[in-house]
Every structure is written in structure tokens, then in C-alpha cells.
Amino acid sequence: MVSPKVGLALGGGGARGYAHLGVIRMLRQHDIPIDVIAGTSMGAVIGGAYACGVDLMKLERILKTLDLNRMLRFPKSSLRGLVGNTASEYLFKRRDWRKQDQEGTRAVIEFFNVFTQHRSFSELSTCFAVVAVDIDTGEEIVLREGPVSRAVAAGVTIPGIHYPVEHQGRYLIDGGLINRVPADVAFSLGADVVIAVNVSSGLTSGGVTSVEVLIQAESIVLREMTQLRLKLLRQRVGDRLLLIEPPVEHIKTLSLDKVDPPIRAGEEETSRRMDEIRALITRYSR
């Protein structure tokens, strides 16, 4: 009997995306194969690290050691903290950021080499793709060539915090803005069944800062869009799509120093759904 090719779609959600590590850990502990990974935002970071062969315990240590808040310039309390110098330069001044030496972008790309071990897509044994968006056209771009770190950097690039990342003449930003959980991409890469992990289905209450209000507003819009995309996809693929939604709504998107709670949530929800996962694989084995 031949098992189906199993795909994993890892969505965006900031710190909530740490749950992806817990999901992957449980799948591997139960000998569930992962043949295809499509990720965006934090899903691109975690999925990319796994596809590049980073040990999961090591990845957890990296997440706890590195200051993602500082590197990604995530704000703490205000809109001014969000936009900073980078955004004010290209939002409020007449200057073409395409022609500038994108020093900050290079630093972010180099930073993600810690997760991707300087590997290129052609070196990976697991089929992996990053979903990004062309800022000029709004087109969804699926990245599968070149350095993985550059693709991951594009997949997490947030307008107003970073410059778009240039790739083959296009300027790319966070793919989660149009495809929060890229399950359709995982199917297009050859997966027979897809486990889609949505960490942004719940809304966080109690946001009091300007940034938290902006994130909440974005989450409301993207939640509706994500639900619609997944509903339409399910109409096409039926029960080949299994959706996992770890209970991480209590975790704020920007709480990047809180690593353990979302990882545990990912582990526990995946363990709870393991019988369904096994049944899915058995059903489509041939």
C-alpha cells in the first residue's frame, strides 16, 4: 500500500505561528510523513526551517534565543513605533525605495539564514514553497527558486515595517495579505491530501494600543477572506483537506517572546486530531 503525498499548509499569525512547530513535532512523532509544505508569514519561517533540515529542538531554542521583535522591528505600543523611520521614508517622502540600497532588507535575509542554513530550494528534500504578493500588481507569487532565506524574508515582509524584497524584478511582501492559509498552493505542488493549519481564526480581545487596533482590524478582514477561500477549496477537493486550528486566540500576534504557549497549543490540538489525520491518510492510500 502506498501512502498519499501529504501536504502541510502553514498560515500566518505572528507569534501564534509558533504553533506550527508543535504541529510538525506531533506529526513526526506519530510517523506522519510531510512531503509538501506551503507557508506564508510565520508559516514560511517554521516550514522553511523544517524543510531545510533544522532539528525541531534546535528550532525551538533559536526561537527562544533570537530577538524577533528587534529584528523585525515589531512595535510595542504605538503607531509611531510601528512605522518607524523605514515606513516614514517611503510613505511620506517622495523617494523611490526601488532604487535604494536596501540595507535593512539584506539584514533580514541574512537573519533568516539562521533558520534556513544558507540553503537553496534546489537542495531541499522536502518540496517547499513560500507565498508572497507582488506589491505592484497584487498578484500571488509562489517562490520555489533561489535562496530559501530570501523567499522567507519576502514571505514575512510587512508594509510599513520593511521595504519589499526584490525577486526577479518583482517587489514582494507578506503573502498572508491575500492567502492566509495556502492550502491551495500545497495541492498545486502535488499533495494528495493537505493538513492546513490556521492560527489566525480567533480574535484577541483587550487590544488597547494603536498597533493592536490595526492588527485586529486586519484580522477581521483576513479571517473572513480565509474562511471563504478554504470553503471554496473544500468544494473542489472534498475531505482531502483537513483543517487544524490550534486554540491560540489568547496569544497576541506581536508577543514574539512567548514561545512555549503556542507550541503547546499546536502539539495538543494535533494530538487530539491524530485519529482523523491517520484516517485521512488511510483513506487515500492505494
Enumerate the active-site residues: 41, 174
Distance CA 5, CA 154 (A): 27
CA dist., res. 73 & res. 105, Å (int): 12
Do residues 62 and 34 make contact, with C-beta atoms less than 8 angstroms apart? Answer: no
Kind plus residue range of the DSSP H or E element containing 213: helix 210-237
How many other C-beta atoms are found inside a 10 Å radius of the C-beta of residue 190?
Answer: 11
The residues that bridge with 10 in the sheet, in sequence order, are: 39, 197
Q: Which residues contact 103 (CB under 8 A, 6 or more apart)?
A: none
Q: Which three cell numbers stand for residue 44?
A: 514560511
